[in-house]
Amino acid sequence: MQNNEDGSVTLTKQEFAKLNKAYQALYEIIGRMPSFLGDYLESKNDYLNIEKWQCLLSGKKFNRKDYE
């Protein structure tokens, strides 16, 4: 992982793959809960950000309208 002067971080392909695998596993575990994930977040926007990254990391397109 490389920290950039502007505050951003650059991951290697291997680091990104590990992060993606961990995120997908966590998302899957949380998704099996009997309650709605959005109930645990402060705003709908927080929920939509989680859904957006789940889509993007799994190679799918994200459309906010699908969640309204």
Q: Mean pLDDT over residues 41-54, rounded? A: 93
Nearest CA among 20, 2, 27 for reference residue 12: 2
Cα dist from 16 to 19, 24, 55, 66, whole Å:
5, 12, 15, 27
Cα dist from 53 to 5, 6, 27, 67, whole Å:
24, 22, 10, 14
Please report the pLDDT score of residue 35 as a whole number: 85
- H or E stretch at 2: strand 2-3
pLDDT tens profile 5-47: 999 999 999 999 999 999 999 999 988 888 888 888 999 999 9
Please report the pLDDT score of residue 9 as a whole number: 92
For the chain, domain boundaries: 2-67
Q: Mean pLDDT over residues 44-57, rounded? A: 93
Give pTM, 2 decimals: 0.71
Q: Tell me how far apart the alpha carbons of residues 44 and 67 are, in angstroms, rounded to a whole number.
A: 10
